[in-house]
Amino acid sequence: MSSAKKQPDVTRQTLLEAAFHEIHRNGFRAASLEAILKKTGVTKGALYYHFPNKKALGYAVLDELIGPTHYNKWKVMFEADDPIAEGIQMIDGHLENIDENDLVCGCPLNNLAQEMSPVDEGFRERVNYIMRRWQDMVAAGLERGQEKGHVRRDVEPQKAALFLIASAQGCIGLAKNAQSIGVYRDCVSGLKDYLKSLRPAPHLHVAKSRR
């Protein structure tokens, strides 16, 4: 493929990434197309070539950036034989790497759920799709953990997955409101305790591991 043919794709991706940061910082309704154009150096005509309006750009940010980011972030954790150990490691890693932008702006997905789901069906449907797929992925990981003896058999994977997602979203939401890493640290400590509670009793885990 020639560089000329590739350029529209590069331009589109540049616009998407700039729009993501603008929406994350200011919310969708307050996001400025002029600010996105200024940041990217893209012309207004090029913007409307790729996205007929601001709403189409917002939908694409959800579909192509925010959704895949969430899937990839949790995919590693819940493809593991021991999702609890991986989950705790993932939480610790995020805690070590959380930056000021995370505290100031919060979770991009949850922000759009709160802002746009009540007022726009297209946003609501997209957020719901991402959340349900996320839940199904986590539940599948917990089921795998049950098969490997790392998760209690009496755990209901779909319900546990929903609670984990709600807790993760709540932790970053509380930290955003408080503008406090301490709040986030305390909240995810409780989340890790919940994950640990999903483990079978030690003697049952050992017996399963020896099979």
Same domain, residue pair 70 and 167: yes
Same domain, residue pair 110 and 158: yes
Q: How far is CA 188 from CA 2, 47, 74, in A?
A: 48, 40, 15
Last residue of a domain, one of 52, 70, 87: 52
DSSP 28-63: TTT--HHHHHHHHT--HHHHHHH-SSHHHHHHHHII
Q: 66 with 108: CB under 8 angstroms?
A: yes
Same domain, residue pair 102 and 190: yes
Same domain, residue pair 75 and 6: no
Same domain, residue pair 102 and 37: no
pLDDT of residue 1: 41
- Of 178, 156, 177, 174, nearest in space to 166 by CA: 174
pLDDT of residue 3: 45
Same domain, residue pair 122 and 182: yes
pTM for the model = 0.87
Which helix (H) or strand (E) element contains residue 6? helix 3-26
Same domain, residue pair 113 and 19: no
CATH of the domain at 84: 1.10.357.10
pLDDT digit of tens for each residue in the chain (211 aa)? 444 446 778 999 999 999 999 999 999 999 999 999 999 999 999 999 999 999 999 999 999 999 999 888 888 777 889 999 999 999 999 888 888 888 899 999 999 999 999 999 999 999 999 999 999 999 999 999 999 999 999 999 999 999 999 999 999 999 999 999 999 999 999 999 999 999 998 755 444 555 5
pLDDT of residue 203: 59
Please state the domain count of the chain. Answer: 2
CATH of the domain at 21: 1.10.10
Same domain, residue pair 136 and 177: yes
Both structure tokens of 74? 């949790």
pLDDT of residue 182: 94
Domain that residue 116 falls in: 59-209
Same domain, residue pair 101 and 187: yes
Same domain, residue pair 42 and 108: no
d(C-alpha 53, C-alpha 111), whole Å: 21
Same domain, residue pair 45 and 82: no
d(C-alpha 53, C-alpha 88), whole Å: 41
Same domain, residue pair 90 and 34: no
